[in-house]
Structure 1
């Protein structure tokens, strides 16, 4: 029997993100139980990212602000992370704030990668040793 091919490995392509750092979304915009996505790039003419479930409030050390503890249902190297609300987009409901942000990200990013079928990771996020998801604009010097 033949095995299905492994999923494609994302191609890392550093790309500026002018929208997320200035996004004005508060901690209260999300609540435990929400399904969200952290956008990471583009794949096959669509935005691509990691889907997760909001679990509980959690202090986001890299920004010194309220964040959310997220659980990745698929597991992986790290099943739980803490993220700042401006990095999250609702999947479980169609709220106007997230739809406006999603559309702006599509308008900005998709034309740059419309020609390829590759999964493009734009390099916007890293995870710290404390399990904190950090946008490149939030990284402190020395962290």
Structure 2
């Protein structure tokens, strides 16, 4: 007897939304340390912020911004188990630091009212992954990279 059919997971709905907060965020490289659990906020799901949870692994140069970045490990694995990201993209999950809490609150105030009527997972379309496995915010993307 064949296994029961399970429908494929519903992909996030794409809703391009301007992000005035992350590009202007001033977070220094030392704010995060190897072992920190972080999240990269990507949108809204059921009236809450949604994103990819990862663990900070090691310092790494972030070529798209020409600044210090972090090598991140996605605990769920997949095609992009390790990526490099700029610190301003990250928010602490493993501790409640004031800078990250302020950023989270500002993101909630900005995003939740815009997507309050949606029950779906909304991907705001702010990030892409380059051929070098570097997570890049749309405001940091450079042509040819």
TM-score (ref. length: structure 2) = 0.95
* CA apart distance, 1:2: 4.4
The structure 1 residue matched to 2:82, chosen from 80, 83, 93, is 80
Q: Which protein has the bigger helix share?
A: 1
How many equivalent residue pairs? 143
- The Cα offsets for residues 4-31 of structure 1, whole Å up to 9 and x where unpaired, read as 6543210111110000000000000000
**Larger C-alpha radius of gyration, 1 or 2?**
2
Aligned mate of 1:16, from 9, 18, 41: 18
* Structure 2 counterpart of 1:32: 34
1:141 and 2:120 aligned: no
Which residue of structure 2 lines up, in the alignment, with residue 49 of structure 1? Answer: 51
Give unpaired runs (5+ residues) of structure 1: none
The unaligned stretches of length 5 or more in structure 2 are: none
TM-score computed with the length of structure 1 as normaliser? 0.96
